[in-house]
Structure 1
Amino acid sequence: MAGPAELLVVDNDFGGDPDGLVALAHILLRCSPDVTVMVTTSPLDPGLAEAAGADPLTTASQGAEIAGQLLELMGIKDVRVIVGAEAPGTGGDQVSAAARAIVEMSGRFERTTILCGGPLTNVAAALRLDPALSEKAALVWVGGTLADAERGEYNSDTDAASAAEVAASGMPLVRVPYEEYTQMTVAVDAVKNELAAASRVGSWLAERLLDVPPFVQLGSTLTLGDSVLVPFGPGPGPTGIAAEWGTVIHRQVDSAGLWRDLIRHLVGVR
Structure 2
Amino acid sequence: MVDNDFGGDPDGLVSLAHILLRSGPDMTVLVTTSPLDPGLAEAAGADPATTAGRGAELAGQLLELMGLSGVRVITGAEATGVTPEQVSPAARAIAEESSRFERTTILCGGPLTNIAAALRLDPPLARRAMLVWVGGTLAEADRGEYNSDTDLDAATEVLASGIPLVRIPSEEYSRMTIAVDAVKNELAAVSAVGSWLAERLLDVPPFVQLGGTLTLGDSVLVAFLPGVDAPARRVAPGTAVHGQVDGAALWDDLMRQLAAQGS
> Which one of the candidate residues 121, 132, 135 is aligned to 1:129?
121
Does residue 156 (structure 1) correspond to residue 148 (structure 2)? The answer is yes
Paired residues of 1:10 and 1:24 also in contact (CA < 8 A): yes
**CA deviation string 1:229-266 (max 9, x = no partner):** 00001244557633411110000010000000000000
> Which one of the candidate residues 184, 192, 198 is aligned to 1:192?
184
**CA deviation string 1:40-91 (max 9, x = no partner):** 0000000000000000001000000000000000000110000000011001
Paired residues of 1:239 and 1:258 also in contact (CA < 8 A): no
Aligned partners of 1:20 and 1:32: how far apart in 2?
Answer: 20
Paired residues of 2:3 and 2:33 also in contact (CA < 8 A): yes
Paired residues of 1:30 and 1:234 also in contact (CA < 8 A): no
Aligned partners of 1:133 and 1:29: how far apart in 2?
Answer: 27
Cross-structure match for 1:263 = 255
> Which one of the candidate residues 60, 63, 67 is aligned to 2:52?
60
Does residue 204 (structure 1) correspond to residue 196 (structure 2)? The answer is yes
Does residue 10 (structure 1) correspond to residue 23 (structure 2)? The answer is no
> Which range moved further: 72-81 or 241-250?
241-250
Does residue 91 (structure 1) correspond to residue 89 (structure 2)? The answer is no
Aligned AA (2:169): P
Structure 2: gaps of 5 or more residues:
none
Paired residues of 1:12 and 1:41 also in contact (CA < 8 A): yes
Once superposed, what is the RMSD of the aligned Cα atoms? 1.0
SS in 1 for 2:36: coil
Cross-structure match for 2:208 = 216
Aligned length: 262
How far residue 160 of structure 1 moved from its aligned partner, in angstroms, is 0.5
Aligned AA (1:18): P
Aligned AA (1:27): I
How far residue 163 of structure 1 moved from its aligned partner, in angstroms, is 0.3
Aligned partners of 2:232 and 2:39: how far apart in 1?
Answer: 35
Q: How does 1:167-182 map to 2 (within 5 A)?
A: 167-182=159-174
> Which one of the candidate residues 29, 36, 45 is aligned to 2:28?
36
Aligned partners of 1:48 and 1:33: how far apart in 2?
Answer: 37
SS in 2 for 1:61: helix
Aligned partners of 1:240 and 1:144: how far apart in 2?
Answer: 18
SS in 1 for 2:130: strand
Q: What is the TM-score normalised by the length of structure 2?
A: 0.98
**CA deviation string 1:103-153 (max 9, x = no partner):** 111111121110000000000000111111100111000000000011100
Paired residues of 1:239 and 1:257 also in contact (CA < 8 A): no
Aligned partners of 2:147 and 2:162: how far apart in 1?
Answer: 19
Paired residues of 1:150 and 1:163 also in contact (CA < 8 A): yes
Aligned AA (1:190): A
Cross-structure match for 1:242 = 234
> Which one of the candidate residues 67, 75, 89 is aligned to 1:75?
67
Cross-structure match for 1:166 = 158
Higher share in helix: 2
CA separation of 1:237/1:116 partners in 2, compared to 1, >3 Å: closer, same or farther?
A: same
Structure 1: gaps of 5 or more residues:
1-8
Aligned partners of 1:160 and 1:236: how far apart in 2?
Answer: 31
Does residue 112 (structure 1) correspond to residue 94 (structure 2)? The answer is no
Paired residues of 2:232 and 2:244 also in contact (CA < 8 A): no
Aligned AA (1:187): A
